């Protein structure tokens, strides 16, 4: 007892001495500005010492990489054992054009594919639908049927490449197409690795590419969980996305909180559907944004990892360590890119990519310098990929695990973000969970307020954006921008017409009729969707049947 008392007394004396010394130093050197804040409005002290974090027991929380609560990373060796997957997001125009871009990226050292789908595909319309006019192939590749998917991955061995697909409402259909293409290559579903985004809740909050109401949408998601847990052990069944929440204007704290709240909702839905948490949770993955505040972003990733581990262990009684691991893909911040002085975006992307790597990402996409103006050109994509490769092979930051651990400031930010994110999650729980909070407009309003505050700071000059509100120059219009052929829509309509005249339309009708019948029951929809896809039913035809049974979601406007 005496030893313990003496130690505590020494600690108290040391703390008092350090506080006195710190105050004395700071008082001798007054500053011009009173307060500084991170991008998430966390006040930044002038100097961080043990005093800033000693009450938070952060040293006890740190632990080791690969061990609960995974603050320092989900793998014991991290990048010393294996680098992150360099997965450049790409897709535009026709499947043929996107296939050429994928082969180019793979030839340049990309280690995983990431598919961008056009807007009609994302909301379940074929290219010949009236609402698709003018949008076909513009912001991603147009995929109307298994035929397009076969072309998209022609010559790319799907047992050797990991593929991520940014698709949500029609995720079950696109996953079924991918399975069918693989089978035509002689690759079985259990050999496939990759991810479907499959995160519908954030669509209602921030992105808007929803089709069906929340309840049937959640059913589709849990159907995928169940199907993949039995047939696709290497496949990530959902990528719970904070990226789009951040792009809509959220802070780093809100990004963590709202993303994990959505994750909680998916886990609850799967358990309610009869799945055991450790059967599906190891294949959950996350998707985060990386912005310019380097150290806050690093802390954000570390805080998210620790908080998710605690949620899975304490709230859902997960026993499998893999169920507690927050594995995530990162994309650099599209909303931070500027049309003014686009070469400045190369520096922004480098900072953001470095934050993701220092924060322990498993997969990374780096945006291209010209994306504020157009889809990226080949030269721009190459620079973006080289940015990752230079960080990986030349910067030295991959040679030790969690190199910023123990930094007073980083640990303070990590703890603060975790604490404030947990407070948000508690509020969401009191509202009835993520779905109810979305229905009540809570998340949307919080994001709108943050976005408004940010914009006011830029317009007032309190927040400097280089080349936009300071250090402007006279510029010539940029040259060499990529333009999608406006004839893409006509070409896709022609392909659809040929498909419908050459396929077995009796088999198509039977498959769609079976889909309608199963949709009216509680049975898993994945097997019958796979049957439809293999019969060359189109994406629009399948979605139209589900619209007929499930209805369509209509957003309420919250101001």
CB 290 within 8 A of CB 333: yes
Q: 173 lies in which domain range?
A: 85-460
pTM above 0.85, yes or no: yes
Of 544, 429, 439, 424, the closest CA to residue 215 belongs to 439
Of 212, 241, 295, 227, the closest CA to residue 89 belongs to 241
**How many other CB atoms are found less than 10 A from the CB of residue 178?**
24
pLDDT tens string 329-346: 999 999 999 999 999 999
CB 219 within 8 A of CB 518: no
CA-to-CA dists, residue 393 to 3, 144, 389, 403, angstroms:
49, 40, 6, 16
In a domain, 258, yes or no: yes
In a domain, 278, yes or no: yes
CATH number of the domain where residue 340 is located: 3.20.20.240
User: Any idea of the CA torsion for 136, 141, 147, 151, to the nearest 10 degrees?
Assistant: 140
In a domain, 545, yes or no: no
In a domain, 428, yes or no: yes
In a domain, 28, yes or no: no
Residues in the chain: 559
In a domain, 389, yes or no: yes
In a domain, 42, yes or no: no
User: Residue 98 phi/psi, 5° resolution?
Assistant: -65, -35
- Residues of the chain scoring pLDDT < 50: 1-2, 559
Bridge partner list, 59: none
In a domain, 67, yes or no: no
Cβ within 8 Å of residue 30, ≥6 positions away:
none
CB 20 within 8 A of CB 45: no
Total structural domains in the chain?
Answer: 1
Tell me how far apart the alpha carbons of residues 379 and 168 are, in angstroms, rounded to a whole number: 30
Tell me how far apart the alpha carbons of residues 306 and 294 are, in angstroms, rounded to a whole number: 19
Looking at residue 335, what is its pLDDT?
Answer: 97
CB 301 within 8 A of CB 288: yes
Tell me how far apart the alpha carbons of residues 14 and 10 are, in angstroms, rounded to a whole number: 6
Of 518, 526, 506, 505, the closest CA to residue 548 belongs to 518
Of 452, 541, 549, the closest CA to residue 505 belongs to 541
Between strands 194-196 and 162-166, the pairing is parallel
Residue with tokens 């229905």: 439
Looking at residue 559, what is its pLDDT?
Answer: 44
Tell me how far apart the alpha carbons of residues 558 and 147 are, in angstroms, rounded to a whole number: 41
- E strand intervals along 242-347: 284-290, 328-332
- E strand intervals along 52-98: 85-90
């Amino acid at each position: 007892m005496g030893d313990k008392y003496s130690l505590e007394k020494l600690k108290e004396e040391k703390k008092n001495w350090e506080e006195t010394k710190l105050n004395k130093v700071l008082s001798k050197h007054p500053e011009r500005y009173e307060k500084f804040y991170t991008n998430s409005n966390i006040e930044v002290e002038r100097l961080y010492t043990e005093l800033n974090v000693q009450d938070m027991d952060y040293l006890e929380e740190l632990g080791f990489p690969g061990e609960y609560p995974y603050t320092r990373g989900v793998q014991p060796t991290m990048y010393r054992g294996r680098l992150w997957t360099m997965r450049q997001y790409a897709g535009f125009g026709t499947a043929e054009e996107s296939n050429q871009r994928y082969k180019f990226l793979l030839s340049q050292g990309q280690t995983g594919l990431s598919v961008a789908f056009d807007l009609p595909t994302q909301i379940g319309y074929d290219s010949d639908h009236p609402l698709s006019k003018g949008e076909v192939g513009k912001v991603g590749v147009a995929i109307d049927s298994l035929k397009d998917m076969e072309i998209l991955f022609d010559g790319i061995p799907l047992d050797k490449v990991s593929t991520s697909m940014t698709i949500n409402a029609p995720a079950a259909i696109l996953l079924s197409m991918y399975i069918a293409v693989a089978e035509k290559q002689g690759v079985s579903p259990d050999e496939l690795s990759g991810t479907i985004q499959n995160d519908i809740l954030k669509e209602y909050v921030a992105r808007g590419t929803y089709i069906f109401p929340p309840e049937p949408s959640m059913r589709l998601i849990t159907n995928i969980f169940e199907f993949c847990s039995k047939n696709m052990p290497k496949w990530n069944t959902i990528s719970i996305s904070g990226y789009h929440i951040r792009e809509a204007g959220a802070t780093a704290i809100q990004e963590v909180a709202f993303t994990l709240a959505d994750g909680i909702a998916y886990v609850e839905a799967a358990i309610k559907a009869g799945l055991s948490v450790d059967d599906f949770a190891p294949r959950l993955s996350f998707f985060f944004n990386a912005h310019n505040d380097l150290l806050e972003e690093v802390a954000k990733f570390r805080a998210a990892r620790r908080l998710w581990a605690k949620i899975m262990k304490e709230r859902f009684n997960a026993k499998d360590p893999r169920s507690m691991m927050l594995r995530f893909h990162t994309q650099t911040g599209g909303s931070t890119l500027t049309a003014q002085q686009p070469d400045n975006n190369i520096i922004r992307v480098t900072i953001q990519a470095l934050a993701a790597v220092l924060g322990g990402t498993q997969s990374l996409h780096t945006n291209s310098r010209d994306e504020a103006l157009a889809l990226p050109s080949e030269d721009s994509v190459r620079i973006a990929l080289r940015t990752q490769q230079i960080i990986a092979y030349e910067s030295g930051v991959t040679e030790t695990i969690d190199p910023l651990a123990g930094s007073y400031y980083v640990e303070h930010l990590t703890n603060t973000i975790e604490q404030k994110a947990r407070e948000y999650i508690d509020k969401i729980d009191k509202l009835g969970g993520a779905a109810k909070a979305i229905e009540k407009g809570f998340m949307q309003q919080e994001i709108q307020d943050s976005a408004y505050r940010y914009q006011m700071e830029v317009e007032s000059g309190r927040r400097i954006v280089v080349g936009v509100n300071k250090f402007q120059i006279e510029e010539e219009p940029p040259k060499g921008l990529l333009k999608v052929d406006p004839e893409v829509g006509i070409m896709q309509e022609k392909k659809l017409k040929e498909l419908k005249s050459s396929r077995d339309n009796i088999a198509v009708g039977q498959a769609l009729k079976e889909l309608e019948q199963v949709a009216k029951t509680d049975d898993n929809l994945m097997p019958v969707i796979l049957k439809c896809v293999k019969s060359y039913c189109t994406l629009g035809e399948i979605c139209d049947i589900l619209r007929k049974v499930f209805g369509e979601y209509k957003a309420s406007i919250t101001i």
